Chain A
């Protein structure tokens, strides 16, 4: 079974540029989550979707961040414009909901110069 697939694995870009992170959840999983991990703040939930609909985006730090899920097999997280403090590892995860564990991708390591 293919797990959660994220791309790119690494992204280095200059401040002010638009960044797009991509995620393919596990087939059949109804929930998709975007997390951010930093040394200072640990692992934080940014937003999650149920059946392609955003349910809770209270963790999205600023209007510069946006996420979409146009279909059940694809989601994007965009940062525009990017800033150095956005540098972190961004994870995507999915599950079937309820008492089912979340399955994580390998993450995108983002560096904003």
Chain B
């Protein structure tokens, strides 16, 4: 059974700092891995999707990496801003016939202090 873990559960950093959020998963047979952000009272917004054949994806100040063999992904946020404060969730899409089923981690609550 696939399990997804995110560390740390919460993180507080001063504005401008570079930071790394971690995600680990137990079954390397994944279809893709996705990072989302969730603002209070809102749904999830997709940030980056890494296909199983890819090693990383970048969007603006965000960079996500994937190492299937070790069951790890990291989300790197450069030059953090108060607007980056949110909960960040990673999710893995299972392989085989269940490529659309996402298994979510419990999230990292990020606070960027001005």
Interface residues of A (CB under 8 A from B): 4, 31, 33, 42-45, 48, 50, 55-56, 91, 93, 95, 97-107
Contacts and interface: CB of A to CB of B under 8 A. Distances in A.
Interface size bucket, B side? Answer: 20 to 34
Secondary structure type dominating chain B contacts: strand
A42 B105 CA distance: 8
B14 to A, nearest CB: 28
B31 A91 contact: no
Nearest to A98: B99
A97 B32 CA distance: 12
Contacts of A45: 101-103
Interface stretch (B21-29, B40-48, B69-77): B40-48
Interface in B64-108: 89, 91, 98-107
Q: Tell me which of B43, B45, B89, B105 has the highest count of chain A C-beta atoms within 10 A of its own C-beta.
A: B43
B43 A99 contact: no
A104 B104 contact: no
Contacts, number: 52
B5 to A, nearest CB: 11
A3 to B, nearest CB: 8
B104 A43 contact: yes
Given A42-B106, A99-B32, A99-B51, A31 B100 contact: yes
A25 to B, nearest CB: 13
B83 to A, nearest CB: 19
Interface of B: 31-32, 34, 36, 41-46, 49, 51, 89, 91, 98-107
23 contacts: A33-B100, A42-B105, A42-B106, A43-B44, A43-B104, A44-B104, A50-B100, A91-B43, A95-B100, A98-B99, A99-B51, A100-B49, A101-B34, A101-B46, A102-B34, A102-B44, A102-B102, A104-B43, A104-B44, A106-B41, A106-B43, A107-B42, A107-B43
